[in-house]
A = this chain, B = another copy of it.
Amino acid sequence: MSLIVTGTIGIDDIVTPSGHANQVLGGSCMYFSAAASFYSPVRLVAVVGEDFPPAFRDSFKQFPNVDLQGLETRKGGKTFRWGGKYHANMNSRDTLFTELGVVGEHPAKVPGAYADSKLVFLANSPPAVQMGFIEQLPQRKLTVADTMDLWINVAKDDLLKLLKRVDGLVLNYDEAELLTGKPNSVSAGRAILELGPRFVVIKKGEHGCLLVHRDGMCALPAYPTEKIVDPTGCGDTFAGGMMGALAHQLQDSSADAGSYAAVRRALVHGTVVASYTIEAFSLDRLKQIKKSDLDKRFEEYAGMVRV
């Protein structure tokens, strides 16, 4: 099934206990697309400014499954910039700065050729922008959104409206608690289902993820690793692997893309691709690997959890 995503493409400054990287390629939509493209073609809709470096544009060539028809370079605009510093355990971070640039203006338009998109992923951006995006996609069969603490705090009403329109939500465990007031992830997940989605994936970083679906529940561990260089984009590539695998699994357009079984299996692909993302700064590791590397680690992971 055709997969479309919108979100940010940006320039990041990152400090981790392993080192630092200045002015590197980043953004939720960028990470998502690169990861998903191992599994399926991806239609990308995003805006960058005129300052977007040509070298970053060349990076897309390493992910040829990403269709760039929806990438707008806005005249006179500034590319989204983000800076973050990770704590010693790599599981939490401080945002050093956020410069919205073109992301704070009007969103990119969905090209006409994308109007028939079936699987939709709303990478992290303001809920009102996410809502505006899905309204341009009347043929969507499965819509999944990511969100963050910022929107829960400053745009909760918009987010609650959006949740009535999406099939799935992906968010961090602390954000699930913030949204629902429930410190237990299972309880938070169930409470989120009451808000609209058919399933919610609660991301727990090094502790894996929890899927709470109307038809079942499962917890999966992260791939255990000590090769942690930069966690930036792990959540986005996790979602990219998940949605890409769903798009690949569901060649038959009459299939139920959001079934418990389909989502559960897709989560393992998300887990595997995220485990590579963390091994280098920016998208550096994803640029090096092949689909066969992902398949190999998938088998290793399957052997690890086999009971």
Contact = CB atoms under 8 A, between A and B. Distances in A.
Interface of A: 88-90, 183-187, 190, 204, 206-208, 210, 217-226, 228, 265, 268, 298, 301-302, 304-307
A152 B219 CA distance: 31
Given A207-B207, A220-B305, 11 more contacts: A90-B183, A207-B208, A210-B224, A218-B304, A218-B305, A219-B222, A219-B223, A219-B304, A221-B221, A298-B307, A302-B307
A210 B222 CA distance: 10
B90 A184 contact: yes
28 contacts: A88-B183, A89-B183, A89-B184, A90-B183, A185-B224, A186-B224, A186-B225, A187-B226, A204-B207, A207-B207, A207-B208, A208-B208, A210-B224, A217-B224, A217-B304, A218-B304, A219-B221, A219-B222, A219-B223, A219-B304, A219-B305, A220-B221, A220-B305, A221-B221, A301-B307, A305-B305, A305-B306, A305-B307
A221 B206 contact: no
A83 B5 CA distance: 52
Contacts of A218: 224, 304-305
Nearest to A217: B224
Contacts of A220: 221, 305
Contacts of A204: 207
A226 B307 contact: no
Q: Which 7 A-B pairs have the closest CB atoms?
A: A219-B221, A207-B207, A302-B307, A186-B226, A218-B304, A305-B305, A187-B226
Contacts of A219: 208, 221-224, 304-305
A142 B183 CA distance: 39
A100 B89 CA distance: 34
Contact of A206 (B185, B223, B228, B305): B185
Contacts of A90: 183-184
Interface centre among A190, A304, A306, A307 (most CB of B within 10 A): A307
Nearest to A91: B183
Contact of A307 (B89, B185, B210, B306): B306
A17 to B, nearest CB: 9
A264 to B, nearest CB: 8
Contacts of A207: 204, 207-208
A204 B204 CA distance: 12
A112 B88 CA distance: 50
A228 B184 contact: yes
A186 B223 CA distance: 11
Nearest to A307: B302
Contacts of A88: 183
Contacts of A210: 224
A306 B306 contact: yes
